Amino acid sequence: MKKRILSCAVALLVSLTSAGCGLLPDDEAGTRTVRIWLMRDSVSDDFLKRFTDAYEKEHSVDLEITFQDWTGIGRKVTAALGSDEAPDVIEVGNTQVAQYAETGLLYDLTLESVRDLGHEDWLPGLKDPGNVRGSQYGIPWYAANRVVIHRKDLFARAGITQPPKTRAQWIEDTEKLNGDGTHGLYLSGQDWYTLAGFIWDEGGDLAVDEGGAWTGALHTPAALRGMEFYKRLQALGPGPKDADEQTPPQADVFAKGDVAQIIAPPSAATAIQKRNPALKGKLGFFPIPGRTADKPCAVFTGGSDLIIPEKARQRDSAIEVVKALAGEKWQTDLARTMNYVPNKPSLASVVRNREATAAMAAGAARGRATPNSPQWAAVEEANPIKPYMTAVLEGEDAERAAETASARITSLLANG
């Protein structure tokens, strides 16, 4: 069957003007068309062609795929969920599932996920945010996370023969890398996603659900220990205390050639090498070290889940599409094509020969997502975590600054 890939504009025009298939369920019109929204650039053209060609042939359906942009996607998905023209499958950011579930317009996939999709082996950073109040609304699709990107040549010059496995060794190695015009590490003062990993590694959290009421948790002893380590690490380099990793872009700083390490997704290596081609072949990747050598640091897991609207016209067919995309065959293909982390730690072996993706996969096994409150987006918009970090790095009392930030987070989670 003919594959149909529509632009956002064409899809909107069809939904507004169609007098045929848009007004009748596809099975009543004599065809079955599964309408899918994917985020732009989440998959390559060659992967999409392989999947759609194979799936349509095996299942005798048409896949109508529309690409969406991240800008404004929250409002667009919410509107679609409430309409009679809701798509059948939607790719969403893993941390967005809770806000869409809050509408009451998502189909509960708990039974399907338990029965057929091996939910017990999903990455926690994709699985947990897809689960809202005990119901699985989001099915994990793919993940990506931060690693340490480093200069192999500078490590060798400093006598470091292998990447550090513990925080203590990481600090020691970074100190060795400082000197002779080299900065051991560049870490901005407001890189709060990296801070979150250190907090989780200590057993703390950014916010906690206490009987249905979310409260900020930066002032807890565990969270304060995470901040203390961040402060110690950040002091080993020239990163600004009052800016995040995009001000200036840390990839640009690294590309200048005098920095040995940054904490970033492996995709940053492309930007680095484009800006400084002399670094090609000199970059390496390793998981962010943990407190002990037996496991890397917890990390923030970014990525996507797949959801099905309650009003999906082709619900049964949509479930089958999700099962295929989340299943081993197409997870393996997607991971190798896009250098993503597959949705299960048991599939990490499919990227073991790819240094950057393998480093991500090791960290993703201990990955987490931001607090699973539908109001978390309000916290990120106001972001009291950033000024808290700057205050501590500039010498203010950490506990007092954390209590102020926690109170602000509590207010935002209560009021949105």
Q: Which domains does the chain have, with CATH numbers?
A: 4-145+301-368 (3.40.190.10), 147-299+373-415 (3.40.190.10)
How many angstroms separate the CA atoms of 20 and 29, rounded? 8
How many angstroms separate the CA atoms of 259 and 11, rounded? 46
Q: Give the pLDDT of residue 111.
A: 86
Q: Give the pLDDT of residue 114.
A: 65
Q: Give the pLDDT of residue 112.
A: 76
pTM as predicted: 0.90
How many angstroms separate the CA atoms of 220 and 136, rounded? 30
Where b means 16+ CB within 10 Å and e means fewer, 159-181 reads ebeebbbbbeebbebbebbeeee
Question: pLDDT 10s per residue in the chain (416 long)?
Answer: 444 444 433 333 333 333 333 333 444 455 699 999 999 999 999 999 999 999 999 998 999 999 999 999 999 999 999 999 999 999 999 999 999 999 999 999 998 776 778 888 999 999 999 999 999 999 999 999 999 999 999 999 999 999 999 999 999 999 999 998 999 999 999 999 999 999 999 999 999 999 889 999 999 999 999 999 999 999 999 999 999 999 999 999 999 999 999 999 999 999 999 999 999 999 999 999 999 999 999 999 999 999 999 999 999 999 999 999 999 999 999 999 999 999 999 999 999 999 999 999 999 999 999 999 999 999 999 999 999 999 999 999 999 999 999 999 999 999 87
Q: Give the pLDDT of residue 26.
A: 44
In this structure, is the dihedral angle defined by the CA atoms of residues 212, 138, 378 and 12, taken in order, positive or negative? negative
How many angstroms separate the CA atoms of 9 and 25, rounded? 22
What are 183's two structure tokens? 């900065």
